[in-house]
Amino acid sequence: MSNRQAGFVAPASRAASEDLSQAGGAGDAEGAERATDDGTVSGASGVLQEIAIELTTKCNLSCEMCSMWEGRRDGLARETIFDLLSQARDLGAHTFTPLGAEIFMRKDTPAILQEAARLGYRKIRIVTNGMLIARHAMTLAELPGLSLNVSIDGPEAVHDSLRGSGKYRAALIGVRAVLARRIPVGLQGILMRPTLATSGHLIDLAGKLGLTGVSYQPFLPDLAWTQPDHSRWLFKPEDRDSVVRSVDGLLEKAHKAGVPIRTEALFPALEPYFMSGVRPVPPGGCRVPSRAVLIDGEGECFPCHFMRDRSLGNVAKGVRLRDIWQGPMRRRMQEQGLSGQCPGCLSVYSDVDGFAMSHGGGAGRTCPDDQSSVQHGAHALSR
């Protein structure tokens, strides 16, 4: 099983943690820093804009299309996370993305979010199943820049068939509770064989409740790595026409309703992905490794969710985030992303802006998936 298959909880290579000091870190000439006008730290490797930290792999659900909930443990200690948030701010980061299975299963998540706000993060972006947010609504409402995306798979019957009886209504209770506190809320859905035909329900619901918009991503086998058979979720060759109609129908429905699809730029790549397993890269390359760092629950650092074959270093072992960000290994990963030499992806964490900048919003250069299991609905990400 590859690290990319294993998603957020895969054990990554530890070799890079020891390699970092030998490679020179931030001390080499190419990594020399300079202060920018806004006080952030820049250099040959750019300015860090976003830090994503895996807080927990605990979940209050056991969704059928997901393996993330099987981790069942919290990540780094609170004090370590506080320190990482501070280090990232010193490097220029203004966006914090807490990751989980379900981040509110970790008891000190509210305190971590409060610390991010105290440090001046302008954006705190959360994906949640919505079932625990009502109890935290008052605290969340006090955090500037915080926004929520609640996972909904479709109408109540579809959602509950995948997540459990009563889970749809519980999620909507949470949505309404945070809306009452004027917290920005959007919906997020997974496009796969059981959901595509009814996924327009998210648009209807967003319009009815006055939400900020919707996001869609396709089912990614990477996050169901313990499942021996993905055929239930994947499309068959004979589904091609219905897939095209459904995707086009979502766009038309959203435009008529005035509901933004935040991942609309990915839509031209959906049919090739569903039918042929093609994982695209924006035509100008992916910029995520140029602006973000992801830290898993064990402290291993990666340039994105899918370039996880080799760790950039382990912050739990004393490696400083500055040394990782300014180090040559991270810069090589940045160059790989910009040159299109990355796995390619269609998740909500991909370089959506990069796809939007392509001519006509097209899918850009494509990268065949190295897993034959995702092609043509044969056996083989979201919460």
| CATH code of residue 273 | 3.20.20.70
> Average pLDDT, stretch 291-314?
94
C-alpha to C-alpha distances, 25 to 32, 140, 307, 324, 330, nearest whole angstrom: 10, 37, 20, 7, 9
SS3 314: strand
Query: What's the mean pLDDT in 27-53?
Result: 53
At residue 212 the predicted structure's pLDDT band, cuts being 50, 70 and 90, is very high
Q: Is the pLDDT of residue 27 over 70?
A: no
User: What's the mean per-residue pLDDT of the chain?
Assistant: 83
CA distance 262 to 200: 14
Confidence of residue 170 (pLDDT cuts 50, 70, 90): very high
| Residue 307 near residue 337 (C-beta atoms within 8 A) | yes
The tokens 């869609």 sit on which residue? 216
In a domain, residue 90? The reply is yes
Quickly list DSSP for 253-302: HHHHHT--BTTGGGGGGHHHHHHH-EEE--TT---HHHHEEEE-TTSBEE
For the cut 60, the answer to whether the pLDDT of residue 155 exceeds it is yes
32 within some domain: no
Q: Which residue has the higher pLDDT, 172 or 42?
A: 172
Judge whether 33 lies within some domain: no
pLDDT beyond 60 at 51: yes
Residue 34 counted as domain residue: no
Q: What percent of the chain has pLDDT over 90?
A: 67
| In the predicted structure, residue 337 carries a pLDDT above the cut 80 | yes
Structural domains in the chain (count): 1
Task: Print the domain residue range for 99.
Answer: 7-27+41-377
pTM above 0.75?
yes
SS3 53: strand
Comparing 106-120, 190-204, 219-233, the range with the smallest average pLDDT is: 219-233
How far apart are alpha carbons 186 and 63 in whole angstroms?
A: 20
- Minimum mean pLDDT among 32-41, 129-138, 341-350: which range? 32-41
| Domain assignment present for 1 | no
Q: What pLDDT sits at residue 358?
A: 67
Q: Would the pLDDT of 127 be above 70?
A: yes
Q: What is the pLDDT of residue 317?
A: 96
pLDDT in tens, 82-116: 999 999 999 999 999 999 999 999 999 999 999 99
Q: How do residues 67-79 score in pLDDT, each as one tens digit?
A: 676 678 999 999 9
Residue 75 lies in a domain: yes
In a domain, 35, yes or no: no
> Which tokens belong to 275?
């039918």
Whether 151 contacts 188, CB under 8 Å: yes
The tokens describing 3, both together, are: 């690290």
Task: Report the pLDDT value the prediction gives residue 265, as an integer from 0 to 100.
Answer: 93
When pLDDT is cut at 50, 70 and 90, the band that residue 302 belongs to is very high
The stretch 160-183 carries a mean pLDDT of 97
257 — pLDDT class (breaks 50, 70, 90): very high
Name the percent of the chain lying above pLDDT 70.
80
Question: For position 65, what pLDDT does the model report?
Answer: 81
Average confidence (pLDDT) over 245-266 = 97
Does the residue 383 lie in any domain? no
Bridge partners, residue 52, by sequence: 97, 294
> What sign results for the dihedral spanned by CA atoms 65, 189, 338, 40?
negative
Amino acid found at 233: W
Write the DSSP string, 222-245.
GGGTT-S--TTTSPPGGGHHHHHH
